[in-house]
C-alpha cells in the first residue's frame, strides 16, 4: 500500500455526479489533494451490463493508481454495487464505496414507506438486494429507476423542463404510496434536490450518502495513517473524457483550487 501522506485521494464516477461526493470530502478534509475522474464518455453506468461496469471500474482504478492515489472513492452507486468487491480483492490500496442509504432511511421513516430513486444497475445489483433484505420487514421500499436523469444532468440540464417532467413522472407514484423518506441512489441526483424537494414537499426527507462517505473516507485515512499533514490547502485535479463545459459550469463558483482538463482514458 502507498504510505505517502501527500499523495492524493482518487475519486471516480460515471461522469460529473460524483462531484457531489467530492465536495463533501473536500469540505471535511480541506488539506487533502484529490484527483477526480469523470468518465462521462461512458455515462450512465446504470444501463450497462455488470461485465461492462467492472471493466470500466478497472480502467478508472488503474488510471488513479498510476497517478499515485493513496485511496480511491468509488463515487458511483452502480460501480460500487457491481465492482467494489473485485477492486478490494485485486488492488492493495483502500477503497471507499457508496450505496443507497436505505438503512439510514429505515431508521427515520415514520410511515414505513421509503422511496428509492436510482439507476437500473444499482437496483438490480446483488449488493442492493442483500442490503434491502436486511431492513425491517415492516418497511416497504418503493423503487424507481431514474432513466434519463443522468444524461440530462451530464448535458447541464439541471433545471430544464425535460428534467422537471421526468422527476414528476418518477416521484408522483412514490408520493401516492405515502413515502416520507426519499433515498437518492445515484451521485448525480443531489444536484436535483431543489427541484425534487419542490415536488415531494417538506414532509418528505431527502437522503443521500455524501456526508457519510466523507466521514468514512476520513476514518479510513486515519486508520491507515495516510491523512495529509500540515496546513496547506489541498489542490484538486479533475479529468473528464468528454466535453468539460458542464463540469466547468457546475464548479464555476467553487472556492477550492481546481484544475479541470479534458483527457482521454
> Which amino acids are annotated catalytic?
76, 186
Q: Does residue 181 contact residue 105 with C-beta atoms inside 8 Å?
A: yes
CA triple 59-62-68, angle to 5 deg: 150
User: What CA–CA distance (Å, rounded) separates 156 from 250?
Assistant: 8
**Sheet with strand 140-145: strands edge to edge:** 140-145, 113-118, 181-185, 205-207
Q: Does residue 19 contact residue 247 with C-beta atoms inside 8 Å?
A: yes
Q: Does residue 119 contact residue 44 with C-beta atoms inside 8 Å?
A: yes
Q: Does residue 131 contact residue 103 with C-beta atoms inside 8 Å?
A: yes
Which letter does DSSP use for residue 201 in this model? -
Q: Burial code of 45-57, b = ≥16 C-beta within 10 A, e = fewer?
A: bbbbeeeebbebb
- Residue 213: all three cell numbers together: 462517505
Q: Does residue 227 contact residue 5 with C-beta atoms inside 8 Å?
A: yes
Q: CA dihedral defined by 185, 47, 89, 10, rounded to 10 degrees?
A: -70
Amino acid at each position: 500500500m502507498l504510505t505517502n501522506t501527500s499523495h492524493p485521494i482518487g475519486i471516480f464516477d460515471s461522469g460529473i455526479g460524483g462531484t457531489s461526493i467530492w465536495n463533501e470530502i473536500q469540505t471535511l478534509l480541506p488539506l487533502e489533494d484529490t484527483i477526480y475522474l469523470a468518465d462521462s464518455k461512458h455515462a450512465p453506468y446504470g444501463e450497462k451490463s455488470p461485465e461492462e461496469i467492472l471493466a470500466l471500474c478497472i480502467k478508472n482504478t488503474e488510471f488513479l493508481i498510476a497517478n499515485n492515489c493513496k485511496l480511491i472513492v468509488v463515487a458511483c452507486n452502480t460501480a460500487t454495487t457491481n465492482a467494489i468487491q473485485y477492486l478490494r480483492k485485486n488492488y492493495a490500496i483502500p477503497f471507499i464505496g457508496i450505496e443507497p442509504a436505505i438503512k439510514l432511511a429505515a431508521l427515520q421513516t415514520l410511515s414505513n414507506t421509503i422511496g428509492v430513486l436510482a439507476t437500473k444497475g444499482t437496483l438490480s445489483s446483488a449488493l442492493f438486494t442483500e442490503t434491502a433484505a436486511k431492513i425491517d420487514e415492516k418497511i416497504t421500499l418503493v423503487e424507481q429507476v431514474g432513466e434519463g436523469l443522468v444524461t440530462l444532468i451530464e448535458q447541464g440540464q439541471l433545471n430544464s423542463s425535460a428534467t422537471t417532467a421526468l422527476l414528476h413522472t418518477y416521484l408522483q407514484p412514490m408520493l401516492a404510496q405515502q413515502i416520507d423518506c426519499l433515498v437518492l441512489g445515484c451521485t448525480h441526483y443531489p444536484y436535483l434536490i431543489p427541484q425534487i424537494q419542490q415536488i415531494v414537499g417538506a414532509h418528505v426527507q431527502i437522503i443521500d450518502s455524501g456526508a457519510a462517505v466523507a466521514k468514512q473516507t476520513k476514518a479510513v485515512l486515519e486508520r491507515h495513517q495516510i491523512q495529509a499533514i500540515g496546513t496547506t490547502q489541498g489542490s484538486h485535479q479533475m479529468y473528464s473524457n468528454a466535453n468539460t463545459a458542464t463540469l466547468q459550469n457546475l464548479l464555476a463558483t467553487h472556492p477550492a483550487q481546481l484544475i479541470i482538463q479534458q483527457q482521454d482514458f
